[in-house]
Structure 1
Amino acid sequence: MTAERLSTQLLKSFSPLDGLKRDNLAALAGKVQIRELSPQQILFKEGDSEKRTVYVVSGTLELLDQDAVTETVEGGTESARNPVSPNYPRRVTARARDRVQYISIDSDLLDVMLTWDQTGSYEVSELHGSDDVGGDDWMTMLLQTKAFHKIPPANIQAIFMRMQQINYKAGDVVLKQGAEGDYFYVLTRGKCLVTRETPLNKDGIKLAELNVGDTFGEEALISDAKRNATVTMQTDGSVMRLGKDDFKRLLNEPMLDWVDTAAAEKIIAEGGMWLDVRLPSEFENHHQPGAINIPLYFIRLKINTLDPDKQYVLCCDTGRRSSAGAYILSERGFQAYVLKGGISNGSR
């Protein structure tokens, strides 16, 4: 299996990647490679649960159910614009008929980028002092970390908007070992050194070097303990920091009503409505019967078209974008529910 880098133009030929803004698309292109399968090689098997979003670039991929070919996906065709068998666990086995080139993206990373792209990046300019922190680079890097995937998506924008920029000179101490935990930090410019003082080494043992996009300070906030290390600027630089109270509140799941498929269908049967917040191209590929489609980035603009007396069950592929949409509706007095796990884990 070989691999090569790919262009943003190729990524834009796939759905919903074509909905990403330029900077996020470029960041994604830097993390994804074109991979290759030999004829008869298996890409994934029925029952596999690894969350990877797969697109066929060239060649023909066979989808098998009980060893029988039920569908083929040929690179460059309309069907290849959409992810291959997006449900988890996989309901089919994917096998290369001939030489197949494909791309595979971490599904959680893609979903976080889509959610952020559609909820808050257009308001980045409102961040205080953002001119000095290297634009969106640190945000993009932060969004791509596994730890940040755990933050409830409905809170992502609020976290960024509440962050405060602090500038430092080389040699300045950002936080001191033994002090009370008061802030969560993201390094947005420059480099830091992390050291820990021990009984045998008062100058401190070097633990790590931090670069742009790295986070620190959360351990003491989560555990209500004192700082267990000292962080010192190695160069001039900047951080964005979030206060302890905001950190704890915004990292807790917002007050959303999550429902499973059975509960959602009961709400629909009693007069509720499916509200799909994915992009139109995703919606056209497959959606719940009777659903209406308002992409997440349009919800604030289209909210007046919704009936405040009706119950809405919001859905997307995973639940991440729909939870962000439900949070917006809930703030405005709507009765909104979120389909737990998204339609990727439900029936198609």
Structure 2
Amino acid sequence: MDLDLNKFRTLIPINALYEDNLLYLADHARVERYLNGEQIFNIGDTDPDNIFLMSGEVCLTSAEGEEILVSAGSDRGLHALASRKPRHYRGVVVSQAATIVRFDSALLERLLAWGHFSPEFAADNSSDTDAGPNAEESEWMMSMMQTTAFMRLPAANIQNLFSHMEEIQARAGDLIVQSGEPGDYYYVIKQGRCQVTLPSDTGEVVLAELGPCSSFGEEALISDSVRNANVTMLTNGKLMRLAKQDFLQLLEAPLLQWIDYPTLVKMAAEGAVRIDVRFRREFEHNGLRGSINIPQNQLRGAIPELDKSKQYIVYCDSGQRSATCAFLLSQQGFDVYVLEGGLSAIRS
């Protein structure tokens, strides 16, 4: 079943993504159709997905019997259904039929966190989501985020990652990585194609051919072992590389101060300022009472107005966006804490 991109663009906070990021998310989403009376999810479910209603009506029922009717296109219907995990509601279709779209919530959080701190992003208060990195930059950066190694990175480290990468020109026939040698760089193909081969007694065995946005070289860096294959350029091209020391440093989580929800409550009672770094409509939908809202894309501009003598607690849905914001604030000398797991980790 095809995804209606026009409706998809209106969902919150998907509507804040750059177009390339939005299309990437759409490619990784699943569209499902349910009939009247069918259950979409149940109380206690711990699946990793965000689920949005694209058409029809769904009744959310809590363990206490509270019922909430959600219609596609309504204000409530623009937000993810029962997003906190484990889920606090059972979702059942009450219209003749309903269509939902689901995708990994962590992917959305990483796209949101990356988008506003990429090198091409000009920090301002604009809500224009059509601007952003050019197509070539966006494509290879997106590829990096999806590799096994980079999925381990907190979103807060990504801006440092980009600034440490070096672009190199490569020509057809160049041997980029040689089997048996120590690992020195991690590579992302920006342009061109490479061939991965394994030396053998009868010659080289071709393992793979890599194209634009493919990456290689992380295994030897992470395991601190020698290269286990050769990588040779098949065509002229461009590679982005990251030195081993920088790669290993940026794999480590930044020095962020994580707290759980009971600690948040205690610190707030003692005067800590809670900042919801999600977008305004997300904050209005289910923000913590007593907190203030400074959306992630407005945080840089708001820093001069913040009091460095106070403690701050930042939160979002999962901890990804708030970790990014905490990193930025800590770099500016603020005493800042992050709600671990975000709102999704709060049990009620």
Q: TM-score, normalised by structure 1?
A: 0.91
Q: Structure 1 pair 225/144, CA: closer, same or farther in 2 (3 Å)?
A: closer
1:47 to 36, 44, 47: 44
Rounded Cα–Cα distance in structure 2 between residues aligned with 1:101 and 1:305 = 44
Rounded Cα–Cα distance in structure 2 between residues aligned with 1:61 and 1:145 = 36
Alignment of 1:173-322 (within 5 A): 173-198=175-200, 200-201=201-202, 203-322=203-322
Q: Does structure 2 retain, via aligned residues, the 8 Å contact 1:4–1:34?
A: yes
CA deviation profile, 1:137-172 (whole Å, cap 9, x unmatched): 111233345653321111001101110011212221
Deviation at 1:295, TM superposition (A): 1.0
- Does residue 107 of structure 2 align to residue 105 of structure 1? no
Which structure 2 residue ranges, 5 or more long, are not aligned? 123-132
Rounded Cα–Cα distance in structure 2 between residues aligned with 1:210 and 1:41 = 44
Deviation at 1:29, TM superposition (A): 2.7
Deviation at 1:27, TM superposition (A): 2.3
Rounded Cα–Cα distance in structure 2 between residues aligned with 1:60 and 1:118 = 33
Q: Does structure 1 retain, via aligned residues, the 8 Å contact 2:119–2:162?
A: no
Rounded Cα–Cα distance in structure 2 between residues aligned with 1:117 and 1:318 = 16
The corresponding residue for 1:85 is 82
| Aligned-residue CA RMSD (Å) | 2.0
Rounded Cα–Cα distance in structure 2 between residues aligned with 1:87 and 1:145 = 27
Residue identity (%): 36
Farther-moved stretch of structure 1 (104-113 vs 211-220): 211-220
SS at 2:227's partner residue?
A: coil
Amino acid at match of 2:239: V
Q: Does structure 1 retain, via aligned residues, the 8 Å contact 2:13–2:282?
A: yes
2:140 to 120, 132, 138: 138
Q: Structure 1 pair 166/263, CA: closer, same or farther in 2 (3 Å)?
A: same
CA deviation profile, 1:292-314 (whole Å, cap 9, x unmatched): 11111211111011110000011
Alignment of 1:48-87 (within 5 A): 48-66=45-63, 68=65, 70-87=67-84
Deviation at 1:11, TM superposition (A): 1.8
Amino acid at match of 1:220: A
Q: Does structure 2 retain, via aligned residues, the 8 Å contact 1:314–1:322?
A: yes
CA deviation profile, 1:82-111 (whole Å, cap 9, x unmatched): 110010111112111230011112111111
Farther-moved stretch of structure 1 (233-242 vs 323-332): 233-242
SS at 2:120's partner residue?
A: helix
Q: Does structure 1 retain, via aligned residues, the 8 Å contact 2:12–2:282?
A: yes
2:151 to 149, 152, 164: 149
- Does residue 26 of structure 2 align to residue 23 of structure 1? no
Deviation at 1:244, TM superposition (A): 0.6
Rounded Cα–Cα distance in structure 2 between residues aligned with 1:132 and 1:89 = 38
Rounded Cα–Cα distance in structure 2 between residues aligned with 1:297 and 1:269 = 28
Which structure 1 residue ranges, 5 or more long, are not aligned? 125-130
The corresponding residue for 2:129 is none
Kindly tell me the number of residue pairs found equivalent between the two proteins: 337
